[in-house]
Amino acid sequence: MPWDPEEEDRRIELLPLYYDNDMPPGLNHELWTWANGRIRPASSGVKTTNHPVFVIATAMHLGADAPHGKFGDMQEYFKRNCSNGEFLLRTIHTCLQHLPAAGAAEYLEVILKRGRSGYTVRTNTRGLEYRVTPAAREQVEEAVRSTPEPVGQLLTKAWNEAYGVEGDPFDAYMAAFRAAETVLRPVISPNDGDARLGKMIRDYEANPNKWEFLLTESRPGAKEKGLELLDGRETVMQMVRTIAYGQKDRHVFESDENSVTEARAAVHLAVTIAMMCETGAFRRKPE
C-alpha cells in the first residue's frame, strides 16, 4: 500500500526529546558544525593562546590527554571527542559562555529546536539549560501510558504542540484543557457525559466534602494553633481552576493568547491532574 500523508497526520505519537548521548546523528552533526564554526582557525591564521580553540580548551579544564599548545592537534582533539554527545554539549555550553555572539546563539537555538533537543539556549544566551528535565519527560510518558486512551491522546497532542518544532501554544493549551476535562469527568460529574470543566468546578464547589485527597492534615493541634489547614482536594482543584481560568482567549479578550511558556505550564498541570485521578489520589468519597 502506498504511503498515505493523511494517515501520517492522524498518527499521534509522543514526540521524543534527545539528551546527551542519545542524540541522533543528524543533530550531532549540526551541533558539531556550529561548535566548529566557533572554534575554527581565524582567517588571519593567528594561532596564539588567545585563539578561540585554546580559550575553550582552557575554560573546559581539559585533562592531560588534550594536546595543549598544539594548534592543529587541538582542533583534531575537539573533532574526535565531540562525537560524544556529552562532550559536544559541554563544548557548546562553554562557547556560549566565553565566545558570546547573539546571532550564533539564535541559530544554535534553531538547531536545538529543530532537532528536538532536550536542551535550549538560556535567555541571556550564556549557556545551555534543560528545555525539559528528563524526570518531567518521564512523568509525561507515564501519564500517557497509564491513563485511558482518550486522555493519553490529548496529553500527547498537548505535549507535541507545546514542545514541537511547529507547535502552537493555543492548540497545546486546548489539548491540556480537554485532557483535564476528560480525566476529571468520571471523578466529579460521572452522571453527565457532556460536563465541561466550568460545570465540574461548580459541581465540586457546591459540596467539596464529596471528594477527598489521600494526603490529609497530619500536624498535631494544627487547628488549635491557628495554622492554615492542609486541604489536598482543594490543592487539586486549584490546579483545575488555573487551567480553566488561565486561558486568556476565553477570559481576557479575543486578541490575547497564551504564550508558549504558559501553554507548557498548562500541559504539566494537566499531566499532574491526570496522574492524581488515575492513581486514585484524588477521588470521590464512597457513598
Q: If you average pLDDT over residues 131-139, what whole number do you get?
A: 88
pLDDT band at 264 (very low <50, low <70, confident <90, very high): very high
CA separation for the pair 126, 140 (Å, rounded): 29
DSSP annotation of 22: T
Each residue's pLDDT tens digit, 3-49: 665 555 555 788 888 888 788 889 999 999 999 999 985 554 555 66
Confidence (pLDDT) at 173: 96
CA distance 195 to 202: 11
- pTM for this structure? 0.79
| CA 189 – CA 166 distance, rounded (Å) | 35
The distance of Cα 270 from the centroid of its chain, to the nearest Å, equals: 13
Q: What is the mean pLDDT of the chain?
A: 88
* DSSP H helices in 191-231: 197-206
Domains in the chain, start-ordered, CATH in brackets?
25-130 (no CATH), 134-284 (1.20.120)
